[in-house]
Amino acid sequence: DRPLTVLGLESSCDDTAAAVVQHTPGQMPQVLSSVVAGQTELHADFGGVVPEIAARAHTEKLDSCVEQALTQAKMALSDVDAIAVTAGPGLIGGVLAGVMCAKGLSIGSGKPLVGVNHLAGHALTPRLTDQAAFPYLMLLVSGGHCQFLIAKGSDEFTRLGGTIDDAPGEAFDKTAKLLGLPQPGGPSVEAEAKNGDPQRFKFPRPLLDRPGCDMSFSGLKTALLRERDRLVAEHGGLRVQDRADLCAGFQAAVRDVLAEKSRRALAEYLALNPTHPTLAVAGGVAANMAIRGELETVCAKDDTAFLAPPLALCTDNAAMIAWAGIERFRAGHQDDMSLQARPRWPL
Ligand code: KG4
Ligand code: ZN
């Protein structure tokens, strides 16, 4: 039950990150530092993350991120109790870069190594920021993930459903691309949608006619493409109002699907009779005010607390990995040099 200080490393997608988190039992965990080096510019010309470029950039940046994280936390490597690293799921080159770096640090310092599942990192964030009590319901919505989880323990998650194709963030990004808006698509589509009429285009709400919590977003993109092409053919280009209406219609469809599936996930979760029912969100899409507002409404109807951690801890970061490392380490979990990078690693 002693205080623990853990250095966390994250490199599973296009952010290189290092952080130091400290926790004394009975107190709020402290994020002593959280350094995130993004790679958006490196991939800008390619319309998506290029795995080889990402892996190389992680290899180049990990060392300096670790150094910055330790300096900002006013610590030396010898002061930490363990080194936690994302061991998957993610792009294999990036995950390997992180795991190798962590192994090197662990050998060099003699500090224990803890492999962390990236999704568990996201899913345990409400305990880092709000000391959420198990069990709580979690909605992960980002550019890469979309799923409902019931977090029952630091290593015990039940998946209720998720996307069967694109993640919503990916759909926002593709929509922006189709409409000539800047990347990342989420913020630019949200800004356009503010001036648009969400009713003008009847976009599909896929899978709402089916039971369960699975979702689908790729058909939405196809429907949007069809409308765009029709408008362009009719008017010789996309008019300002058309673009705003397309964004508003698209965003409303994503919002409705997430809200309805959240209602169903909540019903399954509430059947467990949690004492302090909580729905927490994580992932970049949780920044969307229209979506967030609708989820808040859903929770209010069910007397469920709605938790949205600060955005910097909702998107990819290493503080969540350090924190998940603390939870795993306290539970007696530790890895050795046989720790493998796992590109696929379901919770
Ligand atoms: O969690 P995140 O930073 O990275 C991963 O995908 O793991 O999420 C990034 C995604 C991008 O697809 C971005 O377009 C989306 O989150 N996003 C948003 C908004 N801000 C970011 N989507 C909708 N509305 C937003 N305001
Ligand atoms: Zn993530």
Report the chain's mean pLDDT, rounded to a whole number. 95
- How high is the pLDDT of residue 144? 86
Percent helix, strand, coil in the chain (nearest 5)?
A: 50, 20, 35
190 is in an annotated binding site: yes
- How high is the pLDDT of residue 347? 87
pLDDT, average across residues 53-58: 86
* 112 pLDDT above the threshold of 90: yes
Q: For residue 86, list its beta bridge partners.
A: 116
Ligand nearest to the Cα of 285, by number: 1
- How high is the pLDDT of residue 92? 95
* 166 pLDDT above the threshold of 80: yes
- Which tokens is 108 given? 């060099």
Residue 169 CA, ligand 2 centroid: distance in Å: 11
- How high is the pLDDT of residue 51? 86
Residue labelled with tokens 């892996």: 55
Backbone angles phi, psi at 113, to 5 degrees: -110, 135
Domain at 4-130+313-330: CATH code: 3.30.420.40
Name which residue sits closest to atom 20 of ligand 1, judged by CA.
Answer: 186
Residue 142 CA, ligand 1 centroid: distance in Å: 5
pLDDT, average across residues 235-240: 95
Query: Percent of the chain scored above 70 by pLDDT?
Result: 100
Name which residue sits closest to atom 16 of ligand 1, judged by CA.
Answer: 284
* 199 pLDDT above the threshold of 80: yes
Band of pLDDT at residue 14, cut at 50, 70 and 90? confident
- Which tokens is 79 given? 């002061």
pLDDT, average across residues 73-97: 97
Taking the CA of residue 170 as reference, the ligand 1 atom at the shortest distance is 12
Residue of 86, 142, 166, 291 with the most ligand 1 atoms within 8 Å of its CB, for mutation? 142
Give the burial class of 303: count Cβ atoms within 10 A of its Cβ; 0-12 exposed, 13-18 middle, 19 or more buried.
Answer: exposed
**CB of residue 242 inside a 6 A radius of ligand 1:** no
- Sheet of strand 4-10, all strands in order from the earlier edge strand to the far edge: 30-38, 15-23, 4-10, 82-88, 113-117
Domains 4-130+313-330 and 136-312 share a fold: yes
Residue 301 CA, ligand 2 centroid: distance in Å: 29
Residue 289 CA, ligand 1 centroid: distance in Å: 12
Ligand nearest to the Cα of 176, by number: 1
Beta-carbon contacts of 166 under 8 Å, excluding residues fewer than 6 positions away, are 174, 216, 217, 218, 221
Taking the CA of residue 13 as reference, the ligand 1 atom at the shortest distance is 7
316 is in an annotated binding site: yes
Band of pLDDT at residue 176, cut at 50, 70 and 90? very high
Model pTM?
0.93
* 47 pLDDT above the threshold of 80: no
- How high is the pLDDT of residue 50? 83
Q: Which helix (H) or strand (E) holds 70?
A: helix 51-72
Question: What CATH class is the domain 136-312?
Answer: alpha beta
Query: Percent of the chain scored above 90 by pLDDT?
Result: 88
pLDDT, average across residues 82-111: 97
294 is in an annotated binding site: no
Residue 184 CA, ligand 1 centroid: distance in Å: 7
| Interval 134-162: pLDDT, tens | 999 999 999 888 999 999 999 999 999 99
* 48 pLDDT above the threshold of 80: no
**CB of residue 17 inside a 6 A radius of ligand 1:** no
DSSP codes joined into one string, 305-318: EEE---HHHHSS-S
288 is in an annotated binding site: yes
Distance of CA 158 to the CA centre of its chain: 17
273 is in an annotated binding site: no
At residue 89, what is the residue type?
P
**CB of residue 184 inside a 6 A radius of ligand 1:** yes
Task: Return the domain boundaries, the chain.
Answer: 4-130+313-330, 136-312
Band of pLDDT at residue 66, cut at 50, 70 and 90? very high
DSSP classification of residue 346: -
**CB of residue 88 inside a 6 A radius of ligand 1:** no
Band of pLDDT at residue 28, cut at 50, 70 and 90? very high
